[in-house]
Amino acid sequence: MHPDFLFAGWNYGLQAGTSLTPAGLARFGIKTLVLSESCAHVSTGEKQASINDTYQDLTSLGAIFGVQQKARQVISQMKAQIAAARAKVGRLKPVPVFLYDSGQASPFTAPGLAMPNALIRLGGGTNIFASLRQSWTSVSWEQVVARKPQCIIINDYGTPTWQQKEKFLRSDSVTRQLPAVRNGCILPLSYDELTPSPRNAQAVTAIARWLHPTVFGQSG
């Protein structure tokens, strides 16, 4: 294979300290587009993740592949879907949410510089680790317990399955005492919904419906 273009992110294909960097790949004539949200892994002073990062990447891809109109159409559809959710939940009290990716001894989660933080906020929640100025990272269960999440989003990909992760949350002596677990407020979302992609808008709607069911005509 002789690729001439790579679209990837830091720690999602690109890796500092290796030849898998834009500079390293350029030596082989390979051009690179770096996922905007992932730059928090290698840059200091990054702001909290924003859905605008996804829009920017889609705009860039549209320009690279000569499909600008299609990119604008996708972005417009995403904005309309998110605006519809915000119209229902934007003025409601945010629900404290914990994003559980993996890990039993210490949970891997998505703090303020990772995309789920933006999606949770848009969906009417507040990420319990929003103030942590990092991207995807591990924390302690003691930190999770202290923040009392009312709902948990499980990142659904690979093995263990989201069902296995939920089983752990419900059976572990510490995690089963979390308000979210006691009340059964656990929402699995797929990896491609929670990481930057056109499905981010779908995730916002799912989160909003889960956290604030009554405003969508559902029972709480």
Structural domain spans, the chain: 5-86, 92-216
Helix (H) or strand (E) holding 32: strand 31-34
Closest CA relative to residue 131, chosen from 145, 141, 122, 121? 121
Question: Residue 186 corresponds to which tokens in the numbers above?
Answer: 């656990």
For the sheet with 186-190, list strands across it.
Answer: 125-127, 95-100, 151-156, 186-190
Tokens of 139: 């924390």
Q: What are phi and psi of 13, to 5 degrees?
A: 120, -40
CA–CA distance, 12 with 34 (Å, rounded to integer): 10
Looking at residue 93, what DSSP letter applies? P
Question: Which residues partner with 108 through β-bridges?
Answer: 102, 138
Question: Between β-strands 137-138 and 108-109, what pairing exists: parallel, antiparallel or unpaired?
Answer: antiparallel
Superfamily for domain range 92-216: Nitrogenase molybdenum iron protein domain (3.40.50.1980)
> Which pLDDT does position 220 carry in this prediction?
61
Q: How far is the C-alpha of 62 from the C-alpha of 70, rounded, in Å?
A: 7
Please report the pLDDT score of residue 218 as a whole number.
Answer: 78
Phi, psi of 99, rounded to the nearest 5 degrees: -90, 115
* pLDDT of amino acid 12: 83
pLDDT at 2: 78
The residues that bridge with 5 in the sheet, in sequence order, are 31
Place of tokens 């109109």: 69
- Which regions in the chain score pLDDT beneath 50? none
* β-pairing verdict for 151-156 and 186-190: parallel
